[in-house]
């Protein structure tokens, strides 16, 4: 649903029972929480790196996130989903958080935001 490389807010279900103002706040807060999670080998957060592929917010405020890693053999592959669940789960108003690791499409540097490119001097 969302392409983090564009650094836009993730889209949520079109016909949400959550009032638009609350949905906007919740989305902003989820993105802010994702920006607190870093790949320990790269000094850029997972959202700006483009590792977050999809964020769904259900009507009962449960959150489903599809994300990837820079490489399938990443040393924190087993820990990263828990870090994301904890960060997003701490957002006020969020229900259950489920993080699914996906590797299709594979991550590449084109998914990074301009902010990440600047931080990593990859212009």
Domains annotated for the chain, with CATH where assigned, are 4-119 (3.30.300.130)
Tell me the average pLDDT across 33-38.
Answer: 97
3-state helix, strand, coil in the chain (%, to 5): 35, 15, 50
Joined tokens for residue 40: 């320990």
Structure confidence by residue, pLDDT tens digits, 40-86: 888 899 999 999 999 999 999 999 999 999 988 888 889 999 999 99
Distance CA 31, CA 36 (A): 9
pTM of the model: 0.85
For residues 95 and 64, give the distance between their C-alpha atoms in angstroms, rounded to a whole number.
10
Q: What mean pLDDT is predicted for residues 76-97?
A: 96
pLDDT computed for residue 40 by the predictor: 85
100 phi and psi angles, rounded to 5 deg: -115, 125
Give the tens place of pLDDT for each residue, 6-17: 334 444 445 788
């Amino acid at each position: 649903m969302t392409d983090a490389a564009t650094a836009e807010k993730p889209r949520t279900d079109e016909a949400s029972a959550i009032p638009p103002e609350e949905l906007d706040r919740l989305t902003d807060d989820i993105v802010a929480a994702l920006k607190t999670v870093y790949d320990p080998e790269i000094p850029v957060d997972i959202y700006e790196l483009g590792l977050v592929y999809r964020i769904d917010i259900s009507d009962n405020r449960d959150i489903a996130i599809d994300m990837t890693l820079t490489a399938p053999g990443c040393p924190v592959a087993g820990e990263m989903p828990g870090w994301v669940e904890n960060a997003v789960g701490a957002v006020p108003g969020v229900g259950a958080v489920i993080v699914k690791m996906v590797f299709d499409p594979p991550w590449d540097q084109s998914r990074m935001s301009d902010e990440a490119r600047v931080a990593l001097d990859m212009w």
